[in-house]
Amino acid sequence: MIIGTGIDLLEIERISQIDKRQPKLASRVLTEREMAAVPVKEPRRTEYIASRYAVKEAASKAFGTGIGASLGFHDIEIRKDQLGKPCLDVTKEAVARCFPAEDPTRLRFHVSISHSKQFVVAQVIVERT
């Protein structure tokens, strides 16, 4: 049963401009493991940061909280499975804050990311199994 869905669309150039003005943007949004995987060269660097930002925003919408007191950027981590599919890891504390009535072992997070030269779009679905 789907208990939450969220989508986010953003302009990659917007993230590029913010990253130039605020050099700490990446470390504010990305976890340590995500930071370790940031590509060095453009445009891949900005695409990577923008895609993670979009997934985290989509997740916050699917959780019904937005980014704030209940859910922070570092509570969410995007990784790839063995086939390269994006997966969402959420801290146990954030799951408990956002879904207090749910058994966390029964929650599944589905992620989709796509981008063009101009835009990145991300969708997150929260499912109770």
**Residue 73 DSSP one-character state:** G
Which of 24, 41, 56, 61 does the annotation list as catalytic? 61
- Does residue 24 have an active-site annotation? no
Question: Rounded distance, CA 126 to CA 4, Å?
Answer: 5
- Does residue 115 have an active-site annotation? yes
Which of 20, 74, 80, 115 does the annotation list as catalytic? 115
DSSP 1-61: -EEEEEEEEEEHHHHHHHHHH-TTHHHHHS-HHHHHT--SSTTHHHHHHHHHHHHHHHHHH
Residues annotated as catalytic are 61, 115
